[in-house]
Amino acid sequence: MLLEVKNLHVEIDGKAILNGLDLTIEQGQVAAIMGPNGSGKSTLAYVLAGKPNYEVTQGEVLFDGANILDMEPDERAAKGLFLAFQYPVEIPGVATMTFLRTALNAQRKARGEAEFSTPDFMRRVRETSAHLGIDQEMLRRAVNVGFSGGEKKRNEIMQMAMLEPRLAVLDETDSGLDIDALKIVADGVNRLRSPKRSTVVITHYQRLLNYIVPDVVHVMSKGRVVKSGGKELALELEAKGYAQFQDEVAA
């Protein structure tokens, strides 16, 4: 078991957002999380990554058996947790290449591994950006500054591919992507598929799941996982919408 979320309750400014969420992600699994707007999907991703101002009032989150709620965001990242943001942040004044190198080497250092030499790093950047159809010129620009919506999402996948996380959480990485970019991003995720790695794909669209075929689909509603099933659950949602699951919660 790579990730175990048990009875997680989270508040923001005294407002309950997650209400007893249970979720298990196995090693090697690709899981999709779907659910209506405001059901708490991004909140879950942020709490896993360690974004401040989310108050965990109950429950626990075990990553590889360790309680990560006590860890700083960078410790979590060094342990192999990665979040691709729904709304990627701009970092003016920091070149994308520099950012990648700093993040990668900081994580390697924290794990007691040697830092990448410049030639090794550059080779990895070249290979990874080529696979993802990312122009080298973009990597010289400040992180996400002036990037189009789709370029930001690709840049998130570039970070993921460079960092090779054990658990990647992709929050609506498909939104705003044209069909070619969608395939490239899906390919980037599929390329990292391995028995040692897991991915959580948060999406509203069944379409993405044709390219990234999930092992399991979880449906969130009102701050909880209310239904889990196979990939056919995504098709069922596409056909019927979320009303049935929201009723189940109310019942």
Ligand X SMILES: Nc1ncnc2c1ncn2[C@@H]1O[C@H](COP(=O)(O)OP(=O)(O)OP(=O)(O)O)[C@@H](O)[C@H]1O
Q: For residue 191, how many other CB atoms are within 10 A of its CB?
A: 13
13 binds, among Mg ion, ligand X, none (CB under 5 to 8 A by kind): ligand X
43 binds, among Mg ion, ligand X, none (CB under 5 to 8 A by kind): ligand X
Compute the least distance from the CB of residue 201 to ligand X, in Å.
13
> Is there binding between residue 42 and Mg ion (CB under 5 A)?
yes
Q: What is the full DSSP assignment across 224-241?
A: EEEEEE-THHHHHHHHH-
Q: What is the sign, positive or negative, of the torsion defined by CA atoms of 217, 80, 65, 69?
A: negative
Span interacting with ligand X, options 11-19, 95-103, 182-190, 234-242, rule CB under 6 A: 11-19
14, 15, 89, 119: residue in contact with ligand X (rule CB under 6 A): 15
**Dihedral angle at the C-alpha atoms of 32, 51, 174, 129, nearest 10 degrees?**
-110
232 binds, among ligand X, Mg ion, none (CB under 5 to 8 A by kind): none
Interaction residues for ligand X, span 63-122 (CB under 6 A): 86
Q: Which residues contact 194 (CB under 8 A, 6 or more apart)?
A: 28
Instruction: Determine the 3-state secondary structure of 5 from DSSP.
Output: strand
Compute the least distance from the CB of residue 90 to ligand X, in Å.
19
Contacts with Mg ion, residue ranges (CB under 5 A): 41-42, 86
